[in-house]
């Protein structure tokens, strides 16, 4: 009689931070092999946890050194060992980024100035492998000159435990800001219309929409529902026949795949929604973008605070567009006195009270 094959889960056991800490302590007293056997994990897993814990401790030790350098008036200058720790810590924090982006994140977040070659050398010494990039000819070159001039729309497909999911991104061409997104089971006009209307309600309507010829966006016979909606809003619809023409949102999909999809195994659909939302916030407000000069994040351009952000970075303060545009940090003119034709006029909170 043929024996039934034992099912092996595709996903390994998940351990909480408290469980990891307990197992690490046991490995110090009992040894790695015994701790792995009693807790149902592998020795390699324990060694990996040890390495991550050591990097986190080194990163925590680094922060006071950065503050001391800033107090001495020398921000951005660290000893070689401290510099290497800073590079590795930032790489651990942003594992999907390459040397150039890690360099820019260091400059923006901790005020550390270093060269791309130095960052690449340190990363390569610790296992970084330069990816092979396929060059594609980009046709239909264009560049918006202001936020909300053109939005790109596209779907990205992936699976959560064999269940197909589709993420729709709405990307601002000028700033690379993700102004809207949703995750659905399939490409439908309903999901596109709902997400687009929510984006318009939050940030305002664009002048142009660019998408591919997918059935959720466009109908080659007659007029599609999304096209009719754009006509009501007075928005032009550009339909591309080649992926390269809609290349900016294709680049976004590539970053999304590299930085999240390939690195995280979602527990379920709700977990995917939470982690994608977190990644979108990180992309908009923390992740530096090469197409924006290297030091800026999409939120800087979209919210119109580029000059203030660059000033803060130069002064070693770091930059966060959400802090800059926060009402708590804005200057409000409460009282104003002017003279027009020799007549004094007094304004209180924008209302004229005299003259």
**End-to-end Cα separation, the chain, in angstroms:** 103
pLDDT of 274: 95
Measured in whole angstroms, the distance separating CA 73 from the mean position of its chain's CA atoms is 31
Q: Over the stretch 196-240, which tens digit does the pLDDT of each residue have?
A: 999 999 998 999 999 888 888 877 776 778 888 888 889 999 888
The enclosing H or E element of 171 equals strand 163-172
Q: What is the mean pLDDT of the chain?
A: 80
Per-residue DSSP letters for 90-117? HHHHSTT--HHHHHHHHHHHT-----HH
**Domains defined for the chain, CATH in brackets:** 17-125 (no CATH), 150-287 (3.30.420.10)
The helix (run of H) or strand (run of E) holding residue 156 is: strand 150-160
- pLDDT for residue 138: 43
Asked if the model's pLDDT at residue 11 lies above 70, the reply is no
Band the pLDDT of 10: cuts 50, 70, 90.
Answer: very low
So what's the pLDDT on residue 174?
92
Predicted confidence (pLDDT) per residue in 95-127, tens digit: 878 888 888 888 888 788 888 888 888 888 877
Residue-level pLDDT at 15: 79
The whole-number average pLDDT for the span 341-347 is 78
In whole angstroms, give the CA distance from residue 131 to residue 97.
Answer: 11
What is the number of residues in the chain? 355
d(CA 103, CA 113): 8
Residue 68: band (very low, low, confident or very high) from pLDDT cuts 50, 70, 90: low
The residue ranking higher by pLDDT, 205 or 64, is 205
Mean pLDDT of 92-96: 80
% of the chain residues with pLDDT over 90? 25
Given a cut of 80, whether residue 153 has pLDDT beyond it is: yes
> Would the pLDDT of 252 be above 70?
yes
Q: What is the pTM of this model?
A: 0.66
- Residue 188 neighbours by CB under 8 Å, 6+ apart: 216
- For 160-201, how does the pLDDT look when each residue is reduced to its tens digit (9 = 90+)? 988 999 999 999 999 999 999 999 999 999 999 999 999 999
């Amino acid at each position: 009689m043929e024996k039934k094959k034992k099912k092996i889960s595709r996903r390994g056991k998940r351990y909480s931070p408290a469980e990891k800490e307990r197992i690490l302590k046991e490995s110090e007293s009992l040894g790695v092999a015994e701790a792995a056997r009693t807790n149902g994990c592998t020795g390699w897993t324990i060694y990996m946890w040890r390495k991550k814990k050591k990097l986190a401790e080194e990163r925590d030790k680094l922060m006071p050194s950065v503050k001391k350098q800033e107090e001495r008036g020398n921000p951005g200058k660290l000893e070689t060992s401290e510099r290497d720790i800073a590079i590795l810590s930032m790489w651990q924090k942003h594992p999907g980024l390459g040397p150039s982006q890690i360099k820019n994140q260091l400059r923006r977040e901790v005020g550390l100035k270093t060269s791309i070659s130095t960052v690449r050398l340190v990363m390569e010494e610790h296992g970084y492998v330069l990816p092979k990039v396929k060059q594609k000819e980009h046709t239909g070159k264009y560049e918006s000159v202001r936020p909300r001039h053109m939005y790109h729309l596209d779907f990205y497909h992936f699976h959560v435990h064999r269940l197909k999911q589709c993420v729709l991104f709405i990307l601002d061409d000028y700033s690379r800001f993700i102004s809207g997104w949703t995750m659905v089971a399939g490409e439908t006009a309903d999901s596109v219309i709902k997400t687009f209307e929510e984006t318009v309600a939050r940030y305002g309507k664009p002048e142009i929409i660019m998408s591919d010829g997918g059935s959720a966006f466009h109908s080659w016979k007659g007029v599609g529902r999304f096209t009719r909606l754009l006509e009501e809003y007075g928005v032009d619809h550009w339909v591309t026949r080649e992926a390269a023409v809609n290349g900016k949102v294709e680049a976004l999909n590539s970053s999304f795949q590299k930085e999240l999809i390939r690195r995280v195994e979602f527990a379920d659909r709700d977990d995917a929604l939470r982690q994608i939302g977190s990644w979108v916030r990180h992309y908009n407000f923390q992740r530096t973008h090469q197409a924006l000069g290297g030091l800026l994040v999409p939120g800087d351009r979209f919210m119109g605070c580029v000059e203030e952000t660059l000033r803060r970075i130069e002064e070693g303060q770091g930059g966060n567009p959400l802090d800059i545009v926060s009402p708590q940090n804005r200057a409000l003119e409460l009282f104003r006195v002017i003279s027009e034709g020799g007549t004094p006029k007094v304004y209180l909170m924008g209302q004229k009270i005299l003259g």
